[in-house]
Amino acid sequence: MEKLLRNSFMFLSRNKMMTKLAKKYGLHFGAARFVAGNTIDAAKNVIKQLNHKGLDVTLDYLGEFIIDEYEAEETANHCIKAIEIIGNERLNSQVSIKLTSMGLDISEDVVLSNMRRILAKSKKHGVFITIDMEDYSRCEKTLKIFKQLRSEYDNVGTVLQAYLYRTVDDVEDLGTYQANLRLVKGAYKESADVAFPDKKDVDMNFKKIIKMHLLNGHYTAIATHDDQIIEYTKQIVNKYRIPKTQFEFQMLYGIRPEKQLDIVNEGYKMRVYVPYGTDWYGYFMRRMAERPANVAFVIKGMIKR
């Protein structure tokens, strides 16, 4: 039953008609639990509240799978505006970006040109940028763009997904770029040809890559809500005396907020991924797929409207 629900949400997450309607009619169905609001002003208030509690932030202007060059440029402009606000108001926030929102599906030239504008501005304001990882079909292209940008800028990192068979090799390879990596389990529906189908194998691979990247001496963001992975990381950093300046934990806005504070109170760095904007539908559906128990929020949202 849970698998059926998960697959249904993954299918719905790619529905173009629902994405359009969601943009038009604003945050519904309990999405406000996971999305900071439609505007940068709403997001700014959320960042300030989180910063006040000792939580760092990475801000995400929602958008993905853009195939119009003008729209990709506009999305880049939104990110630049957010970076200026973060810099000018001295907010404790980085920025996360999906390359399909910058034109990855249009051409390499378009995505590089938008990302260079963003990285130049963010370097000026001291804002670090993380390139999110999307589905497997875009993994190779994303890593190619990351490597190019990393050779030009030092304020850019990316994400690797523990569910992919290729990831151990990618961790090794990106080590040569001194990459600042966010490690995650992986949020897209992938075939068993490219990704571990069993959760226990994903968890095992997750632990393996966390240890690898930390012991290779590179900055590691462990992005998970899973207690078992968090405990494992704490053991590794204690055992190998990894300094607190070399790693951080990350979680998504609206998920396990009390645990986020517990981790800060234990003296670790915790960064919260805060999405905002009108293109919330795909992001929200992936969160539903991760935890069908969240459907209760959807039903409540529908009743309340």
Which residues are near ligand FDA by CB under 6 A?
132-133, 159, 161, 182, 184-188, 223-226, 250-252, 255, 273, 287, 290-291, 294
What are the angstrom distances between the C-alpha of 150 and each of 23, 60, 131, 154, 236?
A: 33, 20, 11, 6, 28
Q: Which pair of tokens denotes residue 193?
A: 């040809």
C-beta of 275: minimal distance to ligand FDA in Å? 10
Q: Which pair of tokens denotes residue 175?
A: 């080590």
- Residue closer to ligand FDA, measured from CB, 23 or 225: 225
Q: What are phi and psi of 156, to 5 degrees?
A: -135, 135
C-beta of 281: minimal distance to ligand FDA in Å? 15
Locus of tokens 């990459």: 179
CA dist 110 and 9 (Å) reads 31
C-beta of 80: minimal distance to ligand FDA in Å? 21
Whether 114 contacts 101, CB under 8 Å: no
- Residue closer to ligand FDA, measured from CB, 34 or 278: 34
Residues in Cβ contact with 158 at an 8 Å cutoff, skipping those fewer than 6 apart:
130, 131, 132, 133, 142, 143, 146, 174, 179, 181, 182
CA dist 154 and 149 (Å) reads 9
- Residue closer to ligand FDA, measured from CB, 72 or 195: 195
- Residue closer to ligand FDA, measured from CB, 80 or 187: 187
C-beta of 126: minimal distance to ligand FDA in Å? 20
- Residue closer to ligand FDA, measured from CB, 1 or 17: 1
**Catalytic residue positions?**
132, 182
What residues does 182 pair with on adjacent strands? 159, 221
CA dist 225 and 184 (Å) reads 10
- Residue closer to ligand FDA, measured from CB, 122 or 248: 248
C-beta of 70: minimal distance to ligand FDA in Å? 25
C-beta of 213: minimal distance to ligand FDA in Å? 15
Question: Can you say whether the dihedral through the CA atoms of 265, 266, 268, 270 is positive or negative?
Answer: negative
Whether 131 contacts 160, CB under 8 Å: no
